[in-house]
Amino acid sequence: MERHLGGQRWFTGQEYGIADIALFAYTAVAGDGGFDLSGYPALLDWLQRVRATPGFVEMPPASGQAREWIALSMQAGRPGHEDDGGRARH
């Protein structure tokens, strides 16, 4: 994502589009899954641009159970992740 955004404002080029909307929801909660985005300046700039678009409404904070599910589902894709017993698929 960082490389892709390196030379453009939005995922599909110079205009905000459905790809940005679709990717924002999961990327915006990366911190809840234990991902540190501080080393990805283009991605952080993009998150701010999405939040600054007209009509943007911030997602409500995740509940405790939702935060656990987010963390489990994001960690499931990490190398070396052991089976979570099906909890990430609820």
Give the separation between CA 86 and CA 53, rounded to whole angstroms: 37
Task: Tell whether 90 is covered by a domain.
Answer: no
> For position 11, what pLDDT does the model report?
94
Give the separation between CA 40 and CA 52, rounded to whole angstroms: 19
Residue numbers in the chain where pLDDT is lower than 70: 62-63, 66-67, 69-71, 74-90
Task: Tell whether 88 is covered by a domain.
Answer: no
3-class DSSP state of 4: helix
Task: Tell whether 85 is covered by a domain.
Answer: no
| Rounded alpha-carbon distances, angstroms, from residue 61 to 25, 66, 76 | 12, 9, 22
Q: How many domains, in total, are found in the chain?
A: 1
Domain that holds residue 31: 2-79
> Which CATH number fits the domain that encloses residue 32?
1.20.1050.10
> For position 39, what pLDDT does the model report?
95
